[in-house]
Structure 1
Amino acid sequence: MTRFITWRSLLALLLILPLGVACANPNLDTREHVVKVVPLTDGLENPWSLAFLPNGDMLITERPGRLRIFRDGQLLPDPVAGLPEIRAFRQGGLLDIALHPDFENNRLLYLSYAANHQGGITTRVARGRFENDTLHDVEVLFTAEPASDNGRHFGSRLLFDRAGYLYITVGDRGDMPRAQDLNDHAGSTIRLHDDGRIPEDNPFVGRSDARPEIYTYGNRNAQGMALHPDTGAVWQNEHGPRGGDELNLIRAGVNYGWPVITHGVEYSGATIGEGLTEKEGMEQPVHHWTPSIAPSGMAFYTGDVFPNWRGNVFVGALAHTHVTRLVMDGDRVVEEEPMFREMGQRIRDVRQGPDGYLYLLTDHTNGRLLRVEPAE
């Protein structure tokens, strides 16, 4: 019997074959653009994040604790030397990467990672000077306290805002009540100066019952963060439990409710917190996903390559293995389009490159760097 190969089958085949075998990229129809997804490299072990260097190189973090260089179309075999001591354990390891806003002049590179601390393991952020493919003069800027003995919910996205403040997400470490404790870094967004100093205008500075690094709290496990291209506001997505993933606009001192209120339930189906979706004094999400998509990397699109996507938010989905496109009207989501489900890939990070293309990282033991381009 004759069998017909669909474009979905061709794309799935493309993403499992070695790069040298793949010779065609079938076109994919989205609501606004016809695109193709081009594999650039494989051989990445659970990649987590990437950054674009001024010279055209890309730096890619691998969760087991390696920082890789993608140069001139090739993944260099040797990882970057000079990294801090990293604890690769369950969801932890080498996680996010961010360049200092003045990287071209100071060469400062920031890394978030899991590390041993006080008999447990925690989220830590360090910076170093990146020169000659090596990290020099590494210094630890932040250590989330107290540490925990489990391997869940490290959070760990990094972002600089337009004023040069550094934002760090810290997950609740799988211990829900910690997210409501202002004397605990877990379940929060941290805000620091670029050298680790605490800003005097952080919302809880001067309080004896709160850690002054905390900027927001009541966050479960935020793994996507991006700046709004027009307002400069910080936006964030976070994992819910079984349902209740959230997209939030981050504002100083706000309690985002976890685990007192949530749109999700326990994985067993049991009620969480007070069994409510809203409560006075706790912020509602701008958008939520129920059932959960397990959101991760996130980017606002501002390029010229896909003009009909300008201002849209792109979010990688780990559980539903797709990229979701959110159309915004001010601070509201007015349309959502799941894309690239045919690939069946866990999308860990989404970034807009300097060339205006979208770049994706797939979270697999043989992870890939993919580029979304216009179809020819």
Structure 2
Amino acid sequence: MLKLIKNARLYSPEPVGLGHILTAGERIIYLGSKNPELPDQLQAEIIDVEGAAVVPGFIDGHAHITGGGGETGPASRVPPLVLSSFTRAGVTSVVGVLGTDDLTRNTQTLVQQAYGLREEGLSAWCHTGGYHVPLTTLTGSARGDIVFLDPVIGVGELAISDHRSSQPTLDEFLRIASEAHVAGLMTGKAGIVHCHMGDGERGLSMLEQAIATCEIPARVFNPTHVNRNKPLFEQAVALARHGCYIDATAFPCGHVEPGISAAEAYIQFRDLGGHADRFTISSDGGGCLPAFDHEGNLTRFGVGLSDTLPDMLRELTNRGVPMPEALAPLTSNVADLLKLHRKGRLNVGMDADLVVLDENTAVRHVMARGEWHVRDGQIARRGMYEQV
């Protein structure tokens, strides 16, 4: 039950310095510079990381845990994601979403997949609904799903400015945001509307109108994929000044154009005076990454992977962003947005989710809820059907 990680360069994500971290069960029970003395009878597992960086486990706030896709027929549906597709990338918490296909995939399957990942040792949540209005729900309303279903923390990903959306009106959009916000108040959950942003010329205009015309707090409106093209990103920078969190996607190689990388988006956002604590980065893991021409015909596609998150962290640090600042969009910022109060930071009483990075910022060891999932870069714990 006890695990001691010694001689770690600790980031909370704020720098703590060289120290030691002790976990018991699923919690951190000690973090400090003094090496705790543990009697042999406790049979603690001790690992000396010899000065390696130890950081909070990454929170992937946007992943298609049941698989995404489906834009070109049944064969284009991406399979559900397995446990190690997250943990090998340092992801210890994930939030599942539905996308284009919110008909053959639904809230029931999303909630069940979240529970399955929890059984396998990950921390998992999800949003209710998907691209389309009326929302696909389990209880009959977004408010009911958030209030009565433990894993459900918000609505999303609701498609805006995209030819695949149901073209919601402002009134429809505001009613959904109201449901999410009130449910969040009732439960202490995030209560956000996580908005898929497409390449449509209207961009973020609906979110801008919503903030200008309603009493719902701006933090409820949470656009994602804001770096998919440059005009959209410029709008997102302006929108964030109203108090929104904006989410960039760590697109894999070959899928960035015509936008900018998540790392570049963060640097530009910061340099333009944006509040760095309101910027998050997610992977779109398991999601299909299609590109369409002006008539809606598919021109290319790919699949998102959580592996892009440590790659993005490396890009940021290589470009001179200090490690604590580079970590925040993957850890503390996401935890604050989603109200995951025991996630995103290393501290006594927090969940024992941590990543040990090597000198090249690659994932070396991963602990999720107090158990090792990756050791020395190798998968140590697999999901049920990964073992078959």
TM-score, L = length of structure 1:
0.31
Q: Which has the higher strand share?
A: 1
Compare relative contact order (CA 8 Å, sep 6+) and give the higher one, 1 or 2: 2
TM-score, L = length of structure 2:
0.30
